[in-house]
Amino acid sequence: MQDPFSFSPGFHAVVVGGAGDIGSAIAELFLARGATVTVTGHDQPALDRCRLKGQEGVVVEILDVTSDAGVEKFAAGFERVDAVVNCAGILARDEEFKIEMFQRVLDVNLTGTFRICMAFRPHLVASRGSIVNVASMNAFAALPRIPAYCASKGGVVMLTKSLALAWAEDGIRVNAVAPGYIETAINAEGRKDAAHHERIAARTAVKRWGKPEDVAGTVVFLCLPASDYATGTVFAVDGGFLAG
């Protein structure tokens, strides 16, 4: 009997947006559990910043998730894929009230996630694999300066549930995680305000901000045999922020 907390030999995960902070932590945990990984970044500078570059067992590639042709070509280059993690995402505080930026954020965060899921569906049918989408606490608790981001992540939640129902007969499980306040480059400037940083930490049950590694554990668990009965669910990884 296979260990439910171990991957099968040859297990391969694709982490879209894996060049970022949370994506890199997810990829590193896949590697630590014996998987091989392909990670993507949206451009060369993103890949240059990726700490996974050059590590054994990792392939790093550029991918624009807003390109139908680019996503299709990328997916067609794989022989085996057992798990797909969608964590490519953007936000633009205050700028999202402009229709062009609103549409751009939705195209990356929501439609981009759907493009990836559709492109990799044949691989995941073959492997009876898993998808984990990265939503956000802001799918449930909105913020005033990022309407497109909040809307896109709410859409990711419902997309996850819909695909889980649609693809269950194919053996594909589709789940999501909803991170809370995680210390990443995207909020580094704001965290320089000590009062803001402490106010957010105090609002959580565990009295601290999360680390990318905190998200990685839940994502990887959702791709293990141990989670075979979980699909269509959204796991909050927010230190208890939403529980209050």
Residues carrying an active site annotation: 149
Helix, strand, coil shares of the chain, percent, nearest 5, are 50, 15, 35
The β-bridge relationship of strands 173-179 and 130-134 is parallel
Q: In what order do the strands lie in the sheet with 36-41?
A: 58-62, 36-41, 12-16, 83-86, 130-134, 173-179, 234-237
Residue 156 burial by CB count (10 A; 0-12/13-18/19+): exposed, middle or buried? buried
Q: What length does the chain have?
A: 244
- Residue 60 phi/psi, 5-degree rounding, is -115, 125
Count the Cβ atoms, other than its own, within 10 Å of residue 2: 8
Residue 230 buriedness (CB in 10 A; 0-12 / 13-18 / 19+): middle
Q: Say which DSSP state 67 is in.
A: -
- One-letter amino acid of 182: I
